[in-house]
Amino acid sequence: MPNIQPCLWFDTQAEEAAKFYCSVFPNSKITRISHYTDVGPRPKGMVLTVEFLLDGKPFMALNGGPEFKFTEAISISIECDTQEEIDRYWSALQAGGGKEIECGWLKDRYGLSWQIIPTALGELLGDPDPERAARAMQAMLQMTKIDIDGLRRAAEAAA
């Protein structure tokens, strides 16, 4: 089975970002750092790649240069069982200059998009009663950070 991992392109912040992400998630660590050599194209000794684990899942950060920036076209999704988990990740990933978006999305200080989603959302949106599912969806569309109790109250509300 091949090792599949996302590669996150940074200008010069790969190591800083990897350290930040490892501080946010349990069971996380940097596993390898490589550097540019005299071959280039960036200065010899500069960090080239940082391989790291986020809660045991492999990631790579690359100092590739300023040519490419993160967009909302890709995001990392965190499925949370409790409101406390949602609140913790929401606060941690916004620290130092992140930005709230909507519907459980935010951008961290590096511009990477994250979705912080409760497991309950899938259950509510997949409810066999289409009216309950629609009420949960309508409530979610009004939220920035997802509120599990708010979703449940909306789903259970009488029409």
Burial class (CB in 10 A: 0-12, 13-18, 19+), 72: exposed
The count of other CB atoms within 10 Å of the CB of residue 91 is 12
| Domain count along the chain | 2
Q: Output the pLDDT for position 159.
A: 58
Tell me the per-residue pLDDT of 136-150, one tens digit each, with 9 for 90 and over: 999 999 999 999 999
Average pLDDT, the chain: 96
**CATH code of the domain containing 119:** 3.10.180.10
Measured at the CA of 122, the angle between CA 131 and CA 83, to 5 degrees, comes to 110
Write out the two tokens for 10. Answer: 């940074």
Tell me the per-residue pLDDT of 69-125, one tens digit each, with 9 for 90 and over: 999 999 999 999 999 999 999 999 999 999 999 999 999 999 999 999 999 999 999
* Domain residue limits at 24: 1-66
Task: Among 14, 40, 66, give the residue marking a domain's end.
Answer: 66
Interacting residues of 26 by C-beta distance below 8 A, sequence separation 6+: 55
Q: Output the pLDDT for position 1.
A: 79
Task: Among 66, 90, 122, give the residue marking a domain's end.
Answer: 66
d(Cα 39, Cα 32) in Å, to the nearest integer? Answer: 20
CB of 53 closer than 8 Å to CB of 6: no
Q: Output the pLDDT for position 2.
A: 84
Q: Based on the fold, state whether residues 49 and 117 are members of the same structural domain.
A: no
Residue % of the chain over a pLDDT of 90: 96
